[in-house]
């Protein structure tokens, strides 16, 4: 190193040079001699244990088995303290929930292009399984509009529900089986982050687009049309509507009846929102609509004058559908793909709903356990004539407002629906299709959140791009295209941040040992001839190493030019703050080696501060620590700065 005048050191720097060198070296050894991090196999096993058991203390075999059962079935934990007072609240909530679930389930089955009883079946078995395995107290399980529309948009591309309803139904059960299988795997192996690729902004846009598409799909029932497009994009739907108007293949009585009850439902919804104590009015309004409209059609014989009715609904207990699963054949790969998409959408909606109400009640919801519960209930559902079930926001809000205390309200709801299947399905023969359409339409406004979209626009423009991408993709193409656009934009945002991570020049805050970004804190003081640089990336990998290396070298050149203009010393050392880097791959290590060679050839020392566990472990295995020297690895940026200053002082003394 070149000769440096002693006067170039300030009084503060001289004091820092007098720190206890022995103590600093001891702390460096703590870092360098840390134990090896756990292997990938140990992490996988640990994930399974964490999912299935919440206890980490040493236990006997019997206690460990009971803890495992409690992890799988939370009802064994809270059920021991269940009281009669809670059951009273859950009973009322469950009955209120059933009054909303019965008409909605029939309507959603119609939306999924299935017979009405399959919607009711889906409101029996999945809620019962979830009550045993789920941890949310408020969530209401059953069929939902978005998933029903998703199935009706994907499966008819493979099997036509009109020409071959049996094959269509079998494929629905197979898709449900795969959806449950994927959800279970996500939960067991803690793969919840896969669901997070559908960002909040993408979900807002997707839900709004899906709500409009679902609403347009209901024009078939609302207008009493016999022929309607199987496509879900807005252009195809509107073309189908105009064609029906042109050929007069619609019946005004359906429209009048549907609109009258739609107005009634919207008024009931408005009353419930204005006065929380009257939550029961919008909850029972759909059932009242079904009863009144059925009586009107029966008494006036309106079905003889063009009013479309439900007709026969097969009653009884859920029949087995295990023999109908198509786990072999030409459609297996397509069923698996559709199951994966359905699993992700269903999980996203359920976890968002569950966490929203859990935060209100002040308890934590384990996403991985929820995934496992959802997976098991859909696996069971696929074997008992159900299609994909998940948590419904509208029914969960009713359940919450009705004062539910535990998931027993789901059990009450399921038993009530089962009794209706056994005893009352014949009474629904004359229920008009237009009423089911109006019930679905009345639930759609809750899926469109304009205020949240505006908030996203103000906060993050890239997030808003994902939001409108999902919205227009669903609206003008298809559900799959909308999801693909949203995920692509979200991935592009992640890649942009990964490829061009934040790299900051650090300075010491006055009168502290804290080093911060000098752009954010202009009062931070840069140390002459030493550059402290922080890499703000969780992973130093092949995607960003070239950018990081070139950026550091450019800063070194710019800093040297500035020092030469001011006739000051050249750069003596570079300190890399790796506290934000959680892991590194071989490309990252190679880039550090190339950087170190380049700096060394220019007479500049490279030091590292705060390397994380995985990073220092891999750098030791790659012998990179040996190349730069153990004396160039420090616990903190402050200690690295002191070490480099001491090295400068030693260089001066030797000159």
pLDDT along the chain (655 residues), means of 10: 43 50 69 76 65 55 77 86 90 94 95 95 97 92 94 92 94 98 91 74 89 89 82 84 76 92 95 89 94 95 91 92 93 95 91 83 84 96 97 90 93 96 92 94 89 94 91 88 85 83 91 90 89 92 91 89 74 93 94 93 92 92 88 89 73 47
- 10 Å CB burial of residue 530 (0-12, 13-18, 19+) is buried
Distance CA 358, CA 233 (A): 35
- Six token digits for residue 615: 């990073």
- What does residue 532 show for φ and ψ, rounded to 5 degrees? -105, 125
Which residue from 238, 289, 245 is spatially nearest to 264, judged by alpha carbons?
Answer: 289
- Contacts for 521 with CB less than 8 Å, ≥ 6 apart: 507, 509
Sign of CA dihedral 196, 409, 268, 266: positive
pLDDT of residue 652: 45
Q: Which H or E run includes 284?
A: helix 280-300
Q: In whole angstroms, how large is the CA radius of gyration of the chain?
A: 32
Q: Which H or E run includes 57?
A: none
- What does residue 219 show for φ and ψ, rounded to 5 degrees? -65, -30
Find where tokens 């042109």 sit: 246
């Amino acid at each position: 190193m070149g000769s440096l005048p002693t006067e170039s050191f300030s009084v503060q720097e001289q004091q820092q040079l007098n720190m206890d060198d022995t103590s600093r070296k001891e702390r460096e050894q703590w870092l360098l001699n840390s134990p090896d991090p756990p292997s990938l196999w140990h992490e996988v096993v640990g994930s399974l244990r964490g999912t299935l058991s919440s206890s980490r203390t040493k236990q006997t075999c019997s206690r460990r088995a009971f803890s495992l059962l409690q992890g799988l079935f939370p009802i064994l934990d809270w059920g021991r303290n269940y009281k009669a007072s809670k059951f009273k609240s859950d009973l009322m909530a469950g009955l209120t929930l059933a009054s909303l679930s019965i008409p909605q389930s029939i309507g959603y089955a119609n939306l999924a292009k299935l017979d009405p009883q399959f919607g009711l079946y889906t409101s029996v078995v999945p809620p019962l399984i979830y009550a045993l395995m789920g941890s949310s107290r408020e969530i209401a399980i059953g069929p939902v509009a978005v998933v029903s529309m998703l199935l009706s948009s994907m499966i008819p591309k493979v099997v036509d529900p009109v020409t071959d309803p049996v094959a269509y139904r079998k494929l629905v059960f197979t898709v449900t089986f795969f959806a449950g299988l994927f959800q279970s795997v996500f939960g067991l192996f803690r793969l919840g982050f896969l669901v997070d690729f559908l960002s909040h902004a993408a979900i807002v846009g997707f839900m709004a687009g899906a709500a409009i598409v679902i609403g347009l799909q209901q024009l078939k029932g609302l207008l009493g049309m016999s022929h309607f497009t199987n496509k879900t994009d807005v252009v195809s739907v509107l073309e189908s509507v105009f064609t029906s108007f042109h050929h007069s293949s619609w019946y005004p009585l359906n429209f009048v009846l549907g609109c009258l009850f739609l107005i009634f439902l919207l008024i009931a919804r408005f009353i419930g929102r204005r006065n929380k104590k009257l939550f029961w009015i919008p909850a029972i309004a759909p059932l009242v609509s079904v009863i009144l409209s059925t009586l009107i059609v029966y008494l006036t014989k309106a079905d003889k004058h063009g009013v479309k009715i439900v007709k026969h609904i097969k009653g009884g207990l859920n029949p087995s559908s295990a023999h109908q699963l198509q786990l072999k054949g030409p459609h297996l790969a397509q069923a698996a793909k559709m199951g994966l998409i359905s699993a992700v959408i269903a999980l996203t909606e359920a976890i968002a709903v569950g966490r929203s109400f859990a935060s209100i009640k002040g308890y934590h919801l384990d996403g991985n356990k929820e995934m496992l519960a959802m997976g098991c209930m859909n696996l069971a559902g696929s074997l008992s004539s159900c299609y994909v079930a998940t948590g419904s926001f509208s029914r969960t809000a009713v359940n919450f407002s009705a004062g539910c205390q535990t998931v027993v309200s789901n059990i009450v709801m399921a038993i009530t629906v089962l009794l209706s299947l056994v005893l009352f399905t014949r009474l629904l023969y004359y229920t008009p299709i237009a009423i089911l359409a109006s019930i679905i339409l009345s639930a759609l406004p809750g899926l469109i959140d304009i205020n949240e979209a505006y908030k996203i626009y103000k906060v993050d423009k890239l997030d808003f791009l994902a939001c409108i991408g999902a919205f227009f993709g669903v609206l003008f193409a298809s559900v799959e295209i909308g999801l693909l656009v949203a995920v692509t934009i979200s991935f592009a945002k992640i890649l942009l941040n990964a490829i061009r991570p934040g790299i900051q020049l650090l300075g010491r805050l006055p009168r502290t040992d804290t080093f911060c970004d000098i752009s954010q804190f202009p009062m931070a003081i840069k140390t002459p001839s030493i550059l402290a640089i922080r890499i703000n990336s969780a992973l130093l990998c092949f995607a960003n190493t070239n950018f990081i290396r070139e950026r550091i070298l450019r800063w070194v050149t710019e800093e040297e030019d500035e020092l030469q203009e001011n006739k000051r010393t050249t750069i003596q050392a570079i300190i890399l703050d790796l506290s934000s880097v959680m892991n590194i791959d071989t490309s990252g290590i190679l880039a550090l080696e190339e950087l170190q060679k380049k700096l060394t050839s220019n007479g500049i020392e490279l030091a590292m501060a705060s390397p994380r566990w995985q990073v220092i472990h891999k750098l030791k295995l790659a012998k990179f620590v040996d190349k730069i020297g153990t004396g160039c690895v420090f616990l903190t940026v402050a200690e690295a700065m002191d070490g480099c200053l001491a090295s400068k002082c030693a260089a001066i003394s030797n000159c």
